[in-house]
Amino acid sequence: MFGAMDGLVSNFALIAGMDGGTQSGSRFIVLAGLAGLAAGAFSMAAGEYTSVASQRELAHAEIEVERREIQLHPGAEESELAATYRAKGLDPDLASKVAEQFHADPDQALEEHVREELGVDPNDLPSPLLAAASSFICFAVGAFVPVLPYLLGAGSVIPALIMSLTALFICGAVVSRVTTRSWWYSGLRQLILGAAAAGLTYAVGALVGPGIG
């Protein structure tokens, strides 16, 4: 949802800026909107891929450090795991027995140490490809909304304005389902922020556009 709102706001603002700065007609606005959609979606996908891949690589590096520690200092690591269980409220004897049982299998011991110490499930690390694809699709869907009226023959920015603001309000209202804010507050906040971004970009286009040869 946030990816879709990002695409919606950024492309709506881009189209508004183009509308304010050019009198060349909707063809150039459509081109700018589609270019903004493609550039933003690919940028989001690349950024998300790099981010998640880096997190995954960091997790693998930390897991390997933990694996070496278990191999080199099994007794100390077992005691450390038992101390973790005691800190969670387990009886000292039970904590020691649970840690001993986990350390009977090095692979299980590694998984438990990684979960307890790093907060990572080594069998469920995020996929960079899935994250990149999700970001690409969500951004593209949002960015397509302000372009759609022009593709359907609109000759002014008004239909794109109406569709974009409506979509922003809906997105904000949907986000409220996972927050403590009311749907109308969240929707109105997103609408106002998106409208402000588009309005400011329109003003920049209107100010700079006529002076560009």
CB atoms within 10 A of CB 92: 11
Helix, strand, coil tally for the chain in percent (to 5): 85, 0, 15
pLDDT reported for residue 213: 56
Helix (H, G, I), strand (E, B) or coil at 5: helix
pLDDT by residue (tens digit) across 55-113?
A: 999 999 999 999 999 999 999 999 999 999 999 999 999 999 999 999 999 999 999 99
What does the alpha-carbon distance between residue 15 and residue 199 come to, in Å, rounded to a whole number? 11
Measured N-to-C along each axis, helices 92-103 and 74-87 cross at an angle, to the nearest 10 degrees, of: 140
Percent of the chain with pLDDT over 90: 80
Q: Residues 144, 37: contact at Cβ < 8 Å? A: yes
Confidence of residue 212 (pLDDT cuts 50, 70, 90): confident
What does the alpha-carbon distance between residue 116 and residue 103 come to, in Å, rounded to a whole number? 14
pLDDT by residue (tens digit) across 144-174?
A: 999 999 999 888 889 999 999 999 999 999 9
Q: Residues 81, 112: contact at Cβ < 8 Å? A: yes
pLDDT reported for residue 24: 62
pTM score, two decimals?
Answer: 0.84
CB atoms within 10 A of CB 56: 16
Q: Which residues, at least 6 apart from 87, have a Cβ–Cβ distance to it below 8 Å?
A: none
